């Protein structure tokens, strides 16, 4: 079926999801990290692909997923239930503020998100894709505040963002007692300007570790680093 994206250990049905499986999502699923996390949260799970990748990587973790779009939430839940990780996965069809308001005591070792990321930009055609891709500064202010209240003492939050949005989020961290830990710059080619950053932050102050991931050596030829990051997941590697 055209809407099924096959990974090595699971399948992802993309039906009804405005945002399909894409490079941003799989890189976040492959590179988000925390020391032996027991409880993980994915905010804005979409198809659920990031949750399924984290389930494969962290075999002892329970993972909650939040998705505001009802159709996408239903699809993600079906993907979870069809996987071998189903007993460790829970889907909540809600916005993140509603979810946290209903789960005030929940604490997480790792929170991940591939959020709506085009700040104050023109809406894209179609309401569903607009919801999935566009937001404003208030969204991130609320997001970072909620995250600060629901990370464990040594917990981490990892997001993938365009650089202007990542820079805005970095400014917000100090206001809620969070500190940048790592930056992974994503480039199409070695000589390219980065188009995304995967940023990780938490409560502990640390020297910021900065690295790069280059996707292509040349057009249509994936780099060794990209292949290494995704070889446990993508069937093409």
SS3 63: strand
Domains and CATH numbers, the chain: 4-230 (3.40.50.150)
Q: How far apart are CA 197 and CA 28, in angstroms?
A: 10
pLDDT on residue 125: 46
pLDDT on residue 134: 45
Contact 52, 79 (CB under 8 A): yes
Q: How far apart are CA 16 and CA 144, in angstroms?
A: 28
Q: How far apart are CA 131 and CA 117, in angstroms?
A: 10
pLDDT on residue 131: 38
Residue 167, pLDDT > 60, answer: yes
Residue 40, pLDDT > 60, answer: yes
Residue 133, pLDDT > 80, answer: no
| % pLDDT > 90, the chain | 85
pLDDT on residue 19: 83
Q: How far apart are CA 14 and CA 224, in angstroms?
A: 28
pLDDT on residue 188: 98
Q: Could you count the other beta carbons within 10 Å of the beta carbon of residue 94?
A: 17
* Mean pLDDT estimate for the chain: 92
pLDDT on residue 17: 86
Please name which of 109, 47, 112 lies closest in space to residue 83, comparing C-alpha atoms.
Answer: 47
| pLDDT (tens digit per residue) in 71-114 | 999 999 999 999 999 999 999 999 999 999 999 999 999 999 99
pLDDT on residue 117: 61
**Sign of the four-CA dihedral 173, 176, 178, 179:** positive
Contact 211, 185 (CB under 8 A): yes
Question: Could you tell me the end-to-end alpha-carbon distance of the chain, in angstroms, rounded to an integer?
Answer: 21
Kindly state the average pLDDT of the residues 137-156.
Answer: 95
The reported pTM is 0.92
Query: Who wins on pLDDT, 16 or 1?
Result: 16
pLDDT confidence of 135, banded at 50, 70, 90?
low
The dihedral formed by the CA atoms of 171, 200, 53 and 215, expressed in degrees to the nearest 10: 80
Q: How far apart are CA 112 and CA 40, in angstroms?
A: 8
pLDDT confidence of 200, banded at 50, 70, 90?
very high
Kindly state the average pLDDT of the residues 11-40.
Answer: 94
Highest average pLDDT, of 90-104, 108-122, 124-138, comes from: 90-104
CA separation, residue 187 to residues 50, 60, 213, 233 (Å): 20, 32, 6, 20
Kindly state the average pLDDT of the residues 167-179.
Answer: 95
Please name which of 50, 46, 42, 32 lies closest in space to residue 199, comparing C-alpha atoms.
Answer: 32
Please name which of 225, 28, 160 lies closest in space to residue 237, comparing C-alpha atoms.
Answer: 225
Residue 206, pLDDT > 80, answer: yes
| pLDDT (tens digit per residue) in 42-57 | 999 999 999 999 999 9
């Amino acid at each position: 079926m055209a809407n099924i994206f096959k990974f090595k250990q699971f399948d992802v049905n993309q039906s009804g999801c405005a945002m399909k499986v894409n490079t941003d999502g799989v890189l976040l699923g492959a590179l988000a990290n925390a020391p032996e996390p027991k409880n993980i949260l994915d905010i804005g799970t979409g198809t659920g692909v990031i949750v399924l990748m984290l389930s494969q990587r962290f075999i002892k973790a329970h993972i909650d997923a939040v998705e505001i779009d009802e159709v996408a939430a239903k699809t993600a839940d079906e993907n979870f239930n069809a996987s071998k990780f189903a007993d460790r996965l829970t889907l909540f069809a809600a916005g993140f503020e509603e979810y946290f308001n209903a789960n005030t005591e929940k604490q997480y070792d790792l929170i991940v998100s591939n959020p709506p990321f085009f700040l104050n930009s023109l809406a894209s055609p179609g309401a569903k894709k607009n919801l999935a891709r566009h937001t404003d500064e208030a969204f991130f202010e609320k997001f970072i505040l909620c995250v600060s209240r629901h990370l464990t003492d040594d917990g981490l939050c990892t997001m993938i963002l365009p650089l202007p949005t990542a820079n805005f989020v970095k400014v917000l961290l100090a206001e809620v007692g969070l500190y940048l830990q790592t930056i992974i710059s994503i480039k199409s080619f070695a000589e390219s300007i980065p188009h995304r950053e995967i940023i990780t932050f938490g409560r502990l102050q640390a020297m910021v570790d900065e690295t790069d991931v280059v996707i292509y050596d040349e057009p249509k030829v994936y780099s060794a680093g990209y292949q290494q990051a995704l070889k446990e997941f993508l069937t093409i590697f």
